[in-house]
């Protein structure tokens, strides 16, 4: 590889807005993953909703956040990247603060007047609506501010920064939780979002529109395209099967913290939540190179199976060491399937609908969160609080993973090969 050529491409291949957008994304991920790391524990223990409600509401939050980008692209087209991104950070600033208010002493009068559950549901939905706007903004900015010859490098930089945010955010949350209190993790996410709002207003410049840009789609056109996608049974069935992976993934933030604190008696649960992200950063390139010649279905099925084994390891070895190794194993499974997933989604899309289909790539993340939230609440209450039986909890998750693996193989035999 010509290193000097690569360095020159990095210097000349990106507009300044590319680096500003990715810097904003990095700090936004610090705020998001920091709050995500403590959300279920915060809602269950500090706000006092209990593990069942906390898991369900955390699942609602992430489920909405990852389902709405399908529609959010319309607002980017209509109002521009800068205004939409500023609106996103404004929503985050208000939303994170209001979530944190539920755990602050002076906020109890407001919360109690509305009712804890009603209050938390409202502010989580508000925050999720704002958060859904960021993905089309940042990904779209990468596409418009990187030269064609370095676009793949641009996306690589973007995904690397996302994973760095996932690795560092929970560690920052740990420092705030231990120094100030768990509710202040949300307040710090709010403050970070406010600084990002200022950064957007002062430094972010609207990416140039290409001369051959297509007319913006209306909301009616978006919904029409969505209905067309839902009629594609092959595609939708694949997404539903793939959501099994995300049901497992979200347990890292929903069930895993309670297991770490209540079974392994390790108070700094945020540290173990970062193992997945750190491992992804380290192994993504070699694992992707290893499986690049495999068919997408083969790579995805293997990734499912490897990730499922992580829960088996924790079921039979309730130790900190086993938990760390299990999270590393899960990350290897994630790195095995993730790149091939997007490739396969693009291959299923008709040429004139690639953008619409790629928007649906977030649907398994959303379905996984909607299911994982209530499931985690039930698992923690049944197998950690009502009876101390973590082996059964992890066994159920392993069964979901291996069941999804089997469905992926059957999908390949019955649908793909036919």
The DSSP string of 187-205 is HHHHHHHHHHHHHHHHH--
Give backbone dihedrals phi and psi of 14, rounded to 5 degrees, phi first. -125, 140
Rounded Cα gap, residues 55 and 69, in angstroms: 22
103-133 as b/e, with b when 16 or more CB fall inside 10 Å?
A: bbeebeeebeeeebeebbbebbbbbbbbbbb
The whole-number pLDDT of residue 6 equals 57
The whole-number pLDDT of residue 354 equals 63
The 10s digit of each residue's pLDDT in 118-130 is 999 999 999 998 8
Cβ–Cβ < 8 Å for 372, 379: no
CATH top-level class for 217-418? mainly alpha
pTM: 0.89
Rounded Cα gap, residues 416 and 347, in angstroms: 12
List the CATH code of the domain at 10-204: 1.20.1250.20
The whole-number pLDDT of residue 183 equals 96
The whole-number pLDDT of residue 214 equals 63
The DSSP string of 355-366 is HHHHHGGGHHHH
Rounded Cα gap, residues 70 and 217, in angstroms: 12
* Per-domain residue ranges of the chain: 10-204, 217-418
Entry field: residues in the chain? 418
The whole-number pLDDT of residue 233 equals 85
Residue found under tokens 């990106």:
14
Do 217-418 and 10-204 have the same topology in CATH? yes
Mean pLDDT, contiguous 10-residue spans, the chain (418 residues): 59 85 94 96 95 94 86 76 93 96 92 93 93 84 81 79 92 96 97 97 86 64 76 88 95 96 94 94 85 85 95 95 97 88 76 67 90 96 92 96 94 77
The 10s digit of each residue's pLDDT in 371-403 is 999 999 999 999 999 889 999 999 999 999 999
β-pair partners for 14: 146
């Amino acid at each position: 590889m010509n290193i000097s050529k690569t360095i020159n491409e990095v210097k000349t291949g990106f507009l300044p807005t590319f680096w500003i957008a990715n810097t904003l994304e990095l700090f936004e991920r610090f705020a998001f993953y920091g709050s995500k790391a403590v959300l279920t524990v915060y809602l269950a223990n500090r706000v006092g909703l209990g593990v069942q409600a906390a898991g369900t509401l955390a699942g609602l939050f992430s489920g909405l956040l990852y389902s709405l980008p399908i529609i959010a692209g319309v607002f980017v087209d209509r109002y521009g990247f800068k205004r939409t991104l500023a609106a996103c950070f404004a929503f985050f600033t208000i939303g994170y603060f209001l979530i944190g208010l539920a755990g602050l002493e002076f906020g109890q009068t407001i919360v109690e007047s509305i009712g804890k559950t009603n209050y938390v549901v409202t502010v989580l939905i508000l925050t999720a609506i704002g958060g859904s706007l960021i993905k089309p903004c940042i990904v779209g900015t990468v596409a418009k501010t990187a030269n064609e010859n370095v676009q793949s490098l641009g996306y690589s930089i973007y995904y690397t920064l996302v994973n760095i945010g996932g690795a560092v955010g929970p560690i920052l949350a740990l420092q705030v939780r231990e120094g100030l209190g768990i509710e202040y993790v949300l307040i710090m996410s709010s403050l970070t979002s406010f600084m990002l709002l200022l950064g957007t207003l002062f430094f972010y410049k609207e990416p140039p529109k290409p001369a051959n840009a297509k007319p913006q789609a209306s909301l009616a056109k978006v919904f029409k395209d969505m209905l067309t996608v839902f009629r594609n049974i092959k595609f939708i069935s694949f997404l539903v099967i793939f959501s099994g992976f995300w049901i497992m993934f979200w347990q890292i933030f929903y069930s895993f913290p309670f297991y770490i604190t209540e079974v392994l008696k390790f108070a700094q649960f945020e540290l173990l939540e970062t193992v997945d992200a750190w491992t992804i950063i380290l192994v993504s390139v070699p694992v992707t190179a290893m499986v690049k010649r495999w068919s997408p279905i083969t790579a995805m099925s293997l990734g499912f199976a490897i990730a499922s084994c992580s829960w088996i390891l924790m079921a039979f070895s309730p130790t900190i060491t086993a938990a760390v190794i299990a999270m590393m194993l899960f990350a290897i499974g994630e790195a095995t399937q993730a790149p091939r997933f997007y490739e396969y989604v693009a291959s299923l899309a008709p040429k004139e609908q690639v953008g619409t289909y790629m928007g649906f790539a977030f649907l398994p993340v959303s379905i996984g969160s909607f299911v994982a939230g209530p499931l985690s609440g039930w698992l923690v209450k049944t197998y950690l609080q009502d009876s101390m039986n973590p082996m059964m909890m992890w066994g159920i998750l392993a069964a979901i993973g291996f069941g999804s693996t089997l469905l992926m193989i059957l999908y390949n035999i019955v649908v793909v090969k036919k």
